Structure 1
Amino acid sequence: MLSPATRTTAKDLLTLAWPVILARLGIMTMGLTDAIVVGNFSGRELAYHSLAWAPTAVVVTTSVGLLMGIQVMIARVIGEGRPEAAGAVLRRGLVYGLQIGILAMVALIALGPWALRHMGLEDGLGEGAGPALIVFSLSMPFYLVSVACQFFLEALGRPKAGMVAMWVANGVNLALNLLLVPDLLGLGFNGAFASAWATFGARASLAVFLIWFIMRLPEARALGVFRKPTPEPAAAREQIRIGAGAGSSYFIEVAAFALMTIIAGQLGAAETAAWAVVLNVSAIVFMIPMGLSSATAVLVGRAYGAHDGAGVLRAGLVGIAAVTALTLIVALITWPGAGAMVAAYNRDPALLAIAAPALVLASLFFVADGIQVVAAQANRAAGDIWWPTIMHITAYGAIMMPLGWVLAHQIGVDGLVWAVIVASLVSSTLLTGRFIRVARRLPGQTAAV
């Protein structure tokens, strides 16, 4: 039997998580929309899109991690009974996000196309992906501002606004894709390059809407949104430190997956497109644990701010149990439906023959991958910043990348998937054990868990 406190925590988690999950699904649906529209336009353009997305995804995901301190610190000040400090956390986060976005944009434009041309890809792939990569890079500042705003609303327990805004942005993205990819407006560009401009328009509209919404909140002044924050060096350092830990983990993981895309590019255009489909579907599934990890971090952060060690442990374990159940359901749905999912991207028999079996295999790592991201966020919200990063380096850097290279050159795309399975199992085991150990050390462990 679950204790009343556990039932309450589970209810709070799911109430907060479902809009966050839908918002995170909206993020990936934008990429899915791009991939489906571009894939149906041209299989080769889909390969261009995948290769352009890979380096930008590394930077985007790392940057999102760097902003994770916004969510955790706001949850903590609420747990401490100081909601008026939330505005200061947001203002620091917006400035930080804008700085990161501009720096990332400049670096990607300067280095990205050159790097693609010198990675030993099949002839023409790097050159074809370069223009789309530049446009994706231009949208970075807008996107990171929107992420800061979403983290703020989620930590306040108001995630529905971010969810609605994300799906409106998806509508903008779809409309622009349908107009630009086949060049219905006669602008002279199409395919992956046009789709990147659709993403730019969607991200810009999302940032503008969320800023406007926060400024119109009835409690905005009470939260300190319009008040210049008093200097809090210790809080600012902690916010950056939390983000640095999360950003480092995200960088290791997403860089490893980007390297897998490069390995697929060395195998050929069909393998690159097939891996793009598998990775895209898996990334959409991953948004479920991403949403649950954010909700778990908020609840763990509030308990941590209230010095409630039992609440920290309870919130983390409930989050891990929830993600296990949900990702298992998704895996059981994906297994028999893999062929139809791949066909939605492209009906080329050569692509289907590679991607469908690989997607069936990929369903084996959904549960472990979900557990590891929830456990990692629970650790950080409980004050354990750097051990999750070390464990991600071990699983995805030291194990997955070399194993993926070896297996891919032996059994193709399936080899890449097997490497992900092994790394996810290692990561989930290490991180769950670490969280339990950290939570049990905290004060306030006398309450029922």
Structure 2
Amino acid sequence: MTQRAWPAWARASQITDLLRLSVPIAVTRASMMLMGLTDAIVLGRMAPGELPFVLNSWLPLGIALGFGMGILLGVQVLTSELMGSNRGHESGRVFRRGLWFAIALGAGLTVILYPLAGPLFHSLGFAPDVAESVASCTRILSLGLIGFMVTTVCGMYLEALRRPLISTAIMYGGVVVNLVFNILFVAGAGPFEPMGADGVAWATTGTRTLLIVVFLIAIVFLTPAFAKSPEGPEDETKRQFSVGLGTAISNVAEWGGFNFTYVIATWISLQVNTVYGYATQLMGLAFMAFLGIGTATSVRVAEAYGRGDAQGVAEASRLGVVATVLIGLIIGLLMFVFREPLSLMLVRGDAVLGDMMLAPALAALLITVAIAVTFDGLQATASMALRAQGMIWLPSAIHVGSFFALMIPAGYWLGLIQGRGAQGMIEAALLGVFVAAVLQVALLEYKTARFYQKRAA
């Protein structure tokens, strides 16, 4: 009797390559959420009632950041394709194109968001003092948009060059800087008065600005970014931004959808917004692990796609999906088992807002979050693998449908109309990521099979 062979995608060499790339990327991406988590913890200790001001400020900012991260993804995809065909030394033109666009995009978004913050939040039906506090955070954070865009394009370029550890080291330096700024501005250490939510915003903006300098120094000395490179194909510029545009629309749908649920939660009450916000912060931190797997999968798929290797595309795609499921189940189990210690990490055990004990309410929500994290990871990994194969618009349509057409109305119905509060809001989030995951994975299998058949013909 012959022994059944492992699937090709499960070979040790495939798994090792995925881990070598995904772990540093996941750790790097986690630094972004660690900054936000640090902000939430400091506010939870010093001024828990002000967390909704920061969370709601991310409604326009989250849309801006999601759009920027998406539109700049073309830098990573095209650089990965050049690396796959042993032409990584030509990638400087791709990076420079992305860098100038990142600067222009960040500046343009700042000019738009800064003056519109006040009118926007006053129009959403918030109490005047709440609207003004949210708008203040938004204005401060908008000043850091250039920093976010530039550091994003630098990080994507380093990852595509398979040098993610450089980005990891820089971003964790940023986490430390952000913590120091939080202590100074939020808690009011040294000569500073406590600034509450505004202090969080200044800490984030200051950190992003400092990281620009460090990233560009690393890019100049450690990559071919500014070396002379031959001209690319005529359609390269168009393709670079068309690849990113589909991702931008998806990010706007996902980030905008989740950030609008904070608005709905605030309509219910500040207490509901606070506990729901803490729950989604932990969901977002878990998502960084999946973003590492998804990004690594995207790089590996793009490399194989650039070589015309249909088998390599299939193996990289399926390994990414399986790895996402396994990691999701582990994270979900840990979150379920340790839901009470996690809630106490974020807020004091005796913290009360209105008539709500925050820690027990948060621990109850983490049961649903533990279920949702795997589906959240699957929808990200599958959609990134699809874009690495050149499929742009269908993944975006799935995200728009799942997060805008489904999750937001479900959150309004369950949380506000049915009176389920924070539990209803987190159930709506679960519904959105579940539908997105099922559809994206099914589409990935279809696309991968079609590419394989085309190459075999």
TM-score tier (shorter): over 0.9
In structure 1, the partner of 2:100 is 95
Q: Which digits, 9 at most, give the CA deviation of each residue in 1:383-433, with x for residues without a partner?
A: 111110011112112111111110001211111111111221111111111
1:29-40 maps to which residues of 2 (within 5 A)?
29-40=34-45
Conservation of the 8 A alpha-carbon contact between 2:84 and 2:303: yes
In structure 2, the partner of 1:436 is 445
Q: Which digits, 9 at most, give the CA deviation of each residue in 1:337-385, with x for residues without a partner?
A: 2222222222324222432211221111111110110000000001111
Q: 2: distance between equivalents of 1:189 and 1:334?
A: 32
Q: 1: distance between equivalents of 2:318 and 2:388?
A: 13
Instruction: Tell me which amino acid in the other structure corresponds to 1:2.
Output: W
In structure 2, the partner of 1:225 is 226
Shift of 1:6: 3.9
Q: Which digits, 9 at most, give the CA deviation of each residue in 1:145-173, with x for residues without a partner?
A: 11111111100111000001000000000
Runs (5+) with no aligned partner, structure 1: none
Runs (5+) with no aligned partner, structure 2: none
1:358 aligned onto 2:358: no
One of 121, 144, 147 as aligned partner of 1:116? 121
Shift of 1:3: 4.6
In structure 1, the partner of 2:341 is 340
Conservation of the 8 A alpha-carbon contact between 2:314 and 2:452: no
1:212 aligned onto 2:213: no
Shift of 1:228: 6.3
Instruction: Tell me which amino acid in the other structure corresponds to 2:438.
Output: T
Q: 2: distance between equivalents of 1:276 and 1:152?
A: 31
Q: 2: distance between equivalents of 1:344 and 1:121?
A: 29
One of 176, 181, 184 as aligned partner of 2:181? 176
Shift of 1:257: 0.6
Q: 2: distance between equivalents of 1:426 and 1:3?
A: 27
Q: 2: distance between equivalents of 1:177 and 1:86?
A: 38
Q: 2: distance between equivalents of 1:15 and 1:22?
A: 12
In structure 1, the partner of 2:386 is 379
Conservation of the 8 A alpha-carbon contact between 1:271 and 1:354: no
In structure 1, the partner of 2:139 is 134
Q: 2: distance between equivalents of 1:148 and 1:287?
A: 17
Instruction: Tell me which amino acid in the other structure corresponds to 1:435.
Output: L
In structure 2, the partner of 1:48 is 53
Q: 1: distance between equivalents of 2:308 and 2:235?
A: 18
In structure 2, the partner of 1:277 is 278
Instruction: Tell me which amino acid in the other structure corresponds to 2:190.
Output: L
Q: 1: distance between equivalents of 2:336 and 2:7?
A: 35
TM-score (normalizing by structure 1): 0.95
Shift of 1:5: 5.8
Q: 2: distance between equivalents of 1:331 and 1:187?
A: 40
One of 153, 160, 175 as aligned partner of 2:158? 153
Q: 2: distance between equivalents of 1:46 and 1:403?
A: 23
1:73 aligned onto 2:73: no
In structure 2, the partner of 1:299 is 300
Conservation of the 8 A alpha-carbon contact between 1:122 and 1:265: no
Conservation of the 8 A alpha-carbon contact between 1:34 and 1:195: yes
In structure 1, the partner of 2:110 is 105
| Cα distance change, pair 278–226 in 1 and its aligned pair in 2 (3 A) | same
TM-score (normalizing by structure 2): 0.93
Q: 1: distance between equivalents of 2:451 and 2:219?
A: 34
One of 3, 6, 11 as aligned partner of 1:2? 6
Q: 2: distance between equivalents of 1:317 and 1:122?
A: 49
Q: State the SS of the aligned residue for 2:338.
A: helix
One of 409, 424, 433 as aligned partner of 1:424? 433
Q: 1: distance between equivalents of 2:118 and 2:371?
A: 34
| Cα distance change, pair 358–443 in 1 and its aligned pair in 2 (3 A) | closer
Q: State the SS of the aligned residue for 2:182.
A: helix
In structure 1, the partner of 2:170 is 165
Q: 1: distance between equivalents of 2:269 and 2:125?
A: 11
Shift of 1:123: 5.0
Instruction: Tell me which amino acid in the other structure corresponds to 2:79.
Output: I
1:399 aligned onto 2:399: no
Conservation of the 8 A alpha-carbon contact between 2:9 and 2:319: no
